[in-house]
Amino acid sequence: MMQSSNMAYDQAITVFSPDGRLFQVEYAREAVKRGTTTVGLKYKTGVVLIADKRISSHLIKHESIEKIFQIDEHVGCSISGLVADARILVDKARIYSQIEKITYVGEIPVKTLVKSICDFKHIYTQYGGVRPFGTALIIGGVDENGAQLFATDPSGAFMGYKAGSEGSGRKEAMEYFEKNYVEDLTMDEAITMGVKAIQKGSKKKINPEAIEIGVINAERNFWKLSSAESKNYVEKHA
């Protein structure tokens, strides 16, 4: 009876249930939980982003799957959930970044970018005829305040982290970080810890070719490791 009465409140995004819940937003969070595991870690002078692309068939070309994106020279993000939804948010983030550059002749602060993206996500929880974005972004970058790492929610909320995770293996990865993360990691140590965290969140041995790694360093440069470099980390540490 309780279940059937609750169902009346999940037909429209604008309707709160009697206990103050927006069911469509919660459904979007479930889409994130079904996504592949992704992690982000701050190291001494930068940020590391790592994602499991979860290649389900040997017929799939692993380089055609992208879970880590560059937003600007000093900012990148990893995604979990609906990839098509995430691409829209990544494009929006790139626009915000370029508007800042043209208007103020400078790089957008990472937290300002995160707020803008989350404001955009929040709009899709307020109006009829739309649905929330079924994706979570881990956004990392380096600006004048140093290394920055944030995780965003389908509701439009965000939280700053030293090490964070999203996706199906989030619980196990966060437990691993709680026990093992320390300040002032080197880049190599951060990548190693991130790979191990993804392994903890995986129900089976991870495919070395399915791991994607992005780095933003102290010089505010974003780059992705080559397939061979990523594979080497996984085979050595996972």
DSSP state letter for 213: E
Is residue 63, in this structure, part of any structural domain at all? yes
When divided into structural domains, the chain yields a total of: 1
At residue 9, the pLDDT reads 76
State the pTM of this model: 0.93
At residue 2, the pLDDT reads 42
DSSP for 168-207 reads TTHHHHHHHHHHH--SS--HHHHHHHHHHHHHHH-SSPPP
Distance, CA of 56 to CA of 62 (rounded, Å): 10
Is residue 97, in this structure, part of any structural domain at all? yes
Q: How confident is residue 1, by pLDDT bands cut at 50, 70 and 90?
A: very low
Is residue 12, in this structure, part of any structural domain at all? no
pLDDT at 7 over 70: no
In CATH, what number is assigned to the domain containing residue 45? 3.60.20.10
Is residue 19, in this structure, part of any structural domain at all? no
Which helix (H) or strand (E) segment holds residue 39: the answer is: strand 38-42
Question: Residue 120 is part of which domain span?
Answer: 37-237
Is residue 90, in this structure, part of any structural domain at all? yes
Tell me how far CA of residue 26 lies from CA of 21, 35, 82, 133, in angstroms.
Answer: 8, 15, 14, 11
DSSP state letter for 26: H
Is residue 199, in this structure, part of any structural domain at all? yes
Amino acid in position 183: E
Sort residue 214 into left (φ over 0), alpha (ψ -120 to 50) or beta: beta
Is residue 28, in this structure, part of any structural domain at all? no
- Of the listed ranges 29-33, 59-63, 178-182, the least confidently predicted one is 59-63
Contact 163, 179 (CB under 8 A): no
DSSP for 121-156 reads HHHTTTSTT-----EEEEEEEEETTEEEEEEE-TTS
Is residue 43, in this structure, part of any structural domain at all? yes
| Residues identified as active-site | 36
Q: pLDDT tens across 121-176, in order?
A: 999 999 888 999 999 999 999 999 999 999 999 999 999 999 999 999 999 999 99
